[in-house]
Amino acid sequence: MLRAMIIDDEPLARSNVALLLARDAAISLVGQCGSAEEALAALPAARPDLVFLDVEMPECDGFELLERLGTAPPFAIVFVTAHHQFALRAFEVGALDYLLKPFDDQRFEHVLQRVKERLRVPGETRRFIIRNGNALDVVKFADIDWIEASDYYATVHAAGRAHMLRRSLSELEGELAPYGFQRIHRSAIVNLESVRSLEMREDGEYEVVLAGGQHLRMSRRYRKTIVERIAPT
C-alpha cells in the first residue's frame, strides 16, 4: 500500500486529487493539508511515500516547504500547479512528475502509474536539497562519496563537488545508514559503494581509501562493522 498526502491550499483541488486517488486500491490517503505550516506539523506522523504538492500557497510555497524540511524528503513528490513556468524548477528539486491544472483523469492516471513504477526501486528518490547561494542543489544519496564534519555544518562530497549542509554528523548517520553509508570516524561518514580498500598505516591503524583516491582515517571502533558491511557473511 502506497501512502499518499495532498498539500494544496485550494479545497476543491484537494478534493479532486483525493477522489482520483480513491480509485486506486493500492493507494492509502494518509492526509490532506491546506498550508505549508499544516503540512510541516503533519508530515512526521503521516509518513507518506508520495506527496501531491501545490507550488503556489499563501505565506510559504511548495519550494519553500521543501527547503524548510532541511533535507531531501523521504517521499516522492508530484508538483501540482496552474503555471507551467514552474515545471523546470520542479524537476530541479527532484520532483518525480508535474501536473498542470486543470488536468484530466487520463493525465493523472499516467502520472500515478509512472510514480508507482519509480517507487518500486528502494531509495531511488532519496536526496538532499542544499542551498547554494540563490540556488537549491539536488544531491542524490547515490552520488555521495563521503561526508565530513565542519564545525556546525557537514560537508557533503558528491560527484567531485563539496556542499555545505547544516546538519550534525550524528543526525546524518542515522538517516543514511539504511542506504549503504557507514560512520568510520567521529568526523566522517562514507558511502560503502565508494570504498576501494582498507589500508594499514605504519602505526597499525587503518585508513579507508575511496574510489576517488581519498584516504580517510578510520577509528578502531568502527573497523569490525565496516568489514562486516562491505563483505557480509
Q: Is the peptide bond before 122 cis (omega within 30 degrees of 0)?
A: no
Grid cell for residue 153 = 555544518
CB atoms near residue 13 (< 10 Å): 18
| Partners of 131 in the β-ladder | 136
Question: 94 pLDDT exceeds 70?
Answer: no
How confident is the model at residue 210, as a pLDDT? 94
Domain boundaries, the chain: 2-125, 128-230
Percent of the chain residues topping a pLDDT of 70: 90
Mean pLDDT of 115-138: 72
Q: How far apart are CA 108 and CA 50, in angstroms?
A: 14
Q: How far apart are CA 49 and CA 10, in angstroms?
A: 22
With beta carbons less than 8 A apart as the criterion, state whether 200 and 206 touch.
yes
Q: How far apart are CA 189 and CA 170, in angstroms?
A: 10
How confident is the model at residue 152, as a pLDDT? 79
Do the domains at 2-125 and 128-230 have one common CATH topology? Answer: no
Q: How far apart are CA 214 and CA 219, in angstroms?
A: 16
Mean pLDDT of the chain: 84
Q: Looking at beta carbons, which pairs linking 14-19 to residues 24 or more positions away fall under 8 Å?
A: 17/52, 17/80, 17/108
With beta carbons less than 8 A apart as the criterion, state whether 7 and 39 touch.
yes
Mean pLDDT of 9-18: 93
DSSP state of 205: -
Instruction: Tell me the per-residue pLDDT of 60-91, one tens digit each, with 9 for 90 and over.
Output: 888 888 878 765 677 888 988 877 767 666 66
Mean pLDDT of 45-54: 90
The number of C-alpha atoms within 13 Å of 111 and in the hemisphere containing its C-beta is 23
CB-based burial of residue 77 (10 Å sphere; 0-12 exposed, 13-18 middle, 19+ buried)? buried
Quote the pTM value. Answer: 0.53
Q: Which one has a higher pLDDT value, 116 or 104?
A: 104
CATH architecture of 2-125: 3-Layer(aba) Sandwich (3.40)
Provide the CATH number for the domain formed by 128-230 in this structure: 2.40.50.1020
How confident is the model at residue 117, as a pLDDT? 75
pLDDT band at residue 121 using 50, 70 and 90 as cut-offs = low
Grid cell for residue 1 = 500500500
Furthest-apart CA atoms within the chain: distance in Å: 69
Q: How far apart are CA 173 and CA 169, in angstroms?
A: 6
With beta carbons less than 8 A apart as the criterion, state whether 116 and 90 touch.
no
Separation in Å, CA 150 to CA 52, 184, 219? 35, 16, 18
Instruction: Tell me the per-residue pLDDT of 142-173, one tens digit each, with 9 for 90 and over.
Output: 899 999 998 778 999 998 899 988 888 888 88
